[in-house]
Structure 1
Amino acid sequence: MKDTVFIRPKYKIEVAPESTIAIGDIAQVVGSEKLVAKLANLHIYQVTMKDQTIVVLDVMKVINQIVKQIPDIDIQVVGSTQTIIQVIYPKKKLSSLTFSLIWLLLFIGAGLAIMNFHEDVSMQEMHQRLFTILTGKTVENPLFIQVPYSFGLGIGMVLFFNHVFKKRINEEPSPLDVEIFNYQLDLDQYVIHHEDKDRP
């Protein structure tokens, strides 16, 4: 009677350069304790510099390696059929000067974008009219409205993006988090389609 083992490949893993990948690294294996221990440590891929940053490992390669080691086995695959292996290289430390220049560029760009938007929609004129409606007086710079509006704009952006520097305000994802997640899914699908070396 054949031993049955269930394999559920992980969608994506991160490894260091030159890592040796075992089945236990890329998949959850369920079966007899002895069989799981043997399969979990079975090496199936060696990451090299030629792989650069992404490797797509197909489940057929995993099955092929298992059958070579244990011919009399029944393998049941559950879930995804490919695993994306992302090779993480050590990050270069950003110099203070480079960080300052990037921060300054983004700060000026964001400020200009907000000012141009306000100019397009005649925000100052709207504030003047609103001040006149509320007080009956006409002034050129209605600070009574402009100052709270400026604070509200900043607070609104913090609440919208759900971040204060690196700290989240609550666990709910921001619209930016959702867009980045969707972009990453599309990118992963592209990589699976174009980088799978076992694809005919």
Structure 2
Amino acid sequence: MENTIYIRLRHRVEVKENERIRLKDVALIIAPENILPTLENLCIYEVTKEDKNTIIIDGMQVIKHITFQTNESEIQLIGPPQTIIEVVYKKSRLSFPIFLIVWFLLFIGSAFTIMNFHEDVSMQLVHQKLFYLLTGIKDSKPLVFQIPYSIGLGLGMILFFNHVFKKRINEEPSPLEVEMFNYQQAIDQYLVMHENKERMKKIHDR
């Protein structure tokens, strides 16, 4: 037990191009104090241009590197068996005119979506009938319903997305964030299965 090394790989790590990845960058380490600094600074991988955007560090690679460094220690791998390394390259700043064009297109698209939905369900006719049932007056534009409804629609979207600009209303994730999380999990699983060269081995006929 005294010589046991416990390694817990992180799920996802971001690094820059041409960076040396050390063990402490991709894992949490519990080890005897005399070898802990050496293990933390142990180079696991060096990023090159051929790696593109994603690298998969397998737990067996980590154990192999540690074994070369400390032969007499027992290694226990805890948690996920792989770490996804995302290589972050320098991005050019988005120009303000392009930002305005994208924002304008999204705004118009969202507006058309909302208007088409209300047209499909005959929302204006519903307001007119509701106004007539409550007041006995026929009005083609019952603003007393339409204005609060429009305000409520905007407030409902704020509550649904749980954000006011960059500020979160509460700690509970919004449905959109949950869907994005599930989508990211599916991408990570795909990357682990298809980018990990250790999992894909062809045995040719001998």
Q: With structure 1 as the length reference, what TM-score do the two structures score?
A: 0.97
Identity in percent:
51
1:18-167 matches, within 5 Å, as 18-167=18-167
Q: Which amino acid in the other structure matches residue 167 of structure 1?
A: K
Q: Which runs of 5+ in 2 are unaligned?
A: 202-206
- Secondary structure of the residue aligned to 1:112 is helix
- Secondary structure of the residue aligned to 2:6 is strand
Q: CA RMSD in A?
A: 1.2
Q: Deviations over 1:119-173 (max 9, x none)?
A: 0000000000010011110011101100110011011101110111111111111
Conserved? CA contact 2:21–2:47, under 8 Å: yes
Q: Which runs of 5+ in 1 are unaligned?
A: none
Could you tell me which residue of structure 2 aligns to residue 4 of structure 1? 4
Aligned-pair distance for 1:198?
2.0
Moved more, 95-104 or 163-172: 163-172
Aligned-pair distance for 1:13?
0.7
Could you tell me which residue of structure 1 aligns to residue 183 of structure 2? 183
Q: With structure 2 as the length reference, what TM-score do the two structures score?
A: 0.94
CA distance in 1, matches of 2:125, 2:196: 58
Q: Which amino acid in the other structure matches residue 102 of structure 2?
A: I
Aligned-pair distance for 1:81?
0.8
Q: Deviations over 1:69-106 (max 9, x none)?
A: 22222111111110000111122211111000000000
Conserved? CA contact 1:2–1:72, under 8 Å: no
Could you tell me which residue of structure 1 aligns to residue 204 of structure 2? none
Aligned-pair distance for 1:35?
1.6
Q: Deviations over 1:24-44 (max 9, x none)?
A: 111111021122111111101
Q: Which amino acid in the other structure matches residue 5 of structure 1?
A: I
